Amino acid sequence: MYSGLVIKRALYGKMTEEVIQRYKAATATTITTTTTTTRQNGETGGEKGMEKEKGGEREGEEDDSIVDVTIPLQYLVEKSELRVVSPKRTLKGFYDPCPGEKKHLFIEYTFGGALRRATLMDDEDVLLPSNGK
């Protein structure tokens, strides 16, 4: 199992507390299935996790004021660390989905095998994992 920093989901835009809570609740309904792999010689291998989200849709994507920036953020991870300066709308793969509005960056990530979340204002710099956690 990879224990470095992996961005599982990142959303950017006008996110109210209600939207953030709705996303967290949707994440809680994620179904994780664990299977055991078998090597050709018959030995049992490691575990392989497979995730499927209920309904098959990602929470927040139906809203035009929120953009999924998971891939652009994962691309910025170097040596299991994510450092992003503000404003985020200037980063490659980002755009301003709601000009003139307050924006947040919601990041769900794993580090050291643990699922973690961070919500930051657009003008806050990002440093993940924070304090090595």
How far is the C-alpha of 13 from the C-alpha of 104, rounded, in Å? 6
Asked whether residue 44 is domain-assigned, the answer is no
Q: Which of 96, 76, 82 is nearest to 126 (CA)?
A: 82
Count how many domains the chain has.
1
Task: List, in sequence order, every residue forming a beta bridge with 30; answer none if it has no partner.
Answer: none
Residue 39 confidence (pLDDT): 37
**Contact indicator for 6, 58 with CB cutoff of 8 Å:** no
Domain range spanning residue 13?
6-24+63-132
CA 104 to centroid of chain Cα atoms: 13
Asked whether residue 39 is domain-assigned, the answer is no
pLDDT > 70: what percent of the chain? 70
Q: What is the pTM of this model?
A: 0.70
Asked whether residue 47 is domain-assigned, the answer is no
3-class SS at 132?
helix
For residues 23 and 92, the model is more confident at 92
